[in-house]
Amino acid sequence: MSYTLYYHTGCTAFTGRAGCIIMLLEEAGVPYTIEAPDAYDGTAMFAVPAIKTPDGITMSQAPAILMALAQNLGLAPQDPIKAAKAMQLCLDGADMLSEAWPKVFAEKPERRDKWLAHMEACFALRAEDPVDYADFMCMQTMNEIPPPSTDAMPATTAWYAKVTASKGFQGLQAKKLPMIPQ
């Protein structure tokens, strides 16, 4: 049984907020298809991305989808302290995206810098940890921002190297789609 992800254009033109979910599914190596929003026949949802899972979950809200799926897919920390911090980072990543969208902080450099300093601190905390769902939420936005100076943000630089090498990131990149509509 396959997962079905729902997003604008079925992700044939851009990946938007579905990118983090695509990375999760690619990292897990599970079968999935992507359909347009009007194909969704699940329980109430306000806006895509939405998901239908083989075990009957139908839901929206990208960070909640990541949290709901990651446990079964083996992509959530097991340690309760790390698990709690991953939830925080996932929601931080979603907030950062909402604030950056759609011009990726072009008009708000001071907010970009505040977010990047926060991400640096968070990535330092998880430097030794394997990639998990919270990384995919953050990478969805971080990949759109010009890379920070390696001297100023060593933890972020190491984090980029770790996450860009992941199967999930590589699977999303292989689709050769922009994150934001062109």
Binding site for ligand GSH (CB under 6 A): 16-17, 47-49, 60-62, 94
Q: How far is the CB of 161 from ligand GSH (least distance, A)?
A: 27
Nearer to ligand GSH, 51 or 122 (CB): 51
Task: Kindly report the number of other CB atoms within 10 A of residue 114's CB atom.
Answer: 13
Distance in angstroms (rounded) separating the CA atoms of residues 168 and 133: 10
Nearer to ligand GSH, 51 or 153 (CB): 51
Q: How far is the CB of 158 from ligand GSH (least distance, A)?
A: 27
Distance in angstroms (rounded) separating the CA atoms of residues 81 and 132: 14
Q: How far is the CB of 16 from ligand GSH (least distance, A)?
A: 4
Nearer to ligand GSH, 148 or 168 (CB): 168
Q: How far is the CB of 147 from ligand GSH (least distance, A)?
A: 24
Q: What is the DSSP letter of 9?
A: G
Q: How far is the CB of 127 from ligand GSH (least distance, A)?
A: 27
CA atoms within 13 A on the CB side of 167: 10
First to last CA, the chain: 33
Q: What's 73-112 look like in SS3?
A: HCCCCCCHHHHHHHHHHHHHHHHHHHHHCCCCCCCCHHHH
Distance in angstroms (rounded) separating the CA atoms of residues 145 and 62: 20
Nearer to ligand GSH, 135 or 148 (CB): 135
Nearer to ligand GSH, 49 or 77 (CB): 49
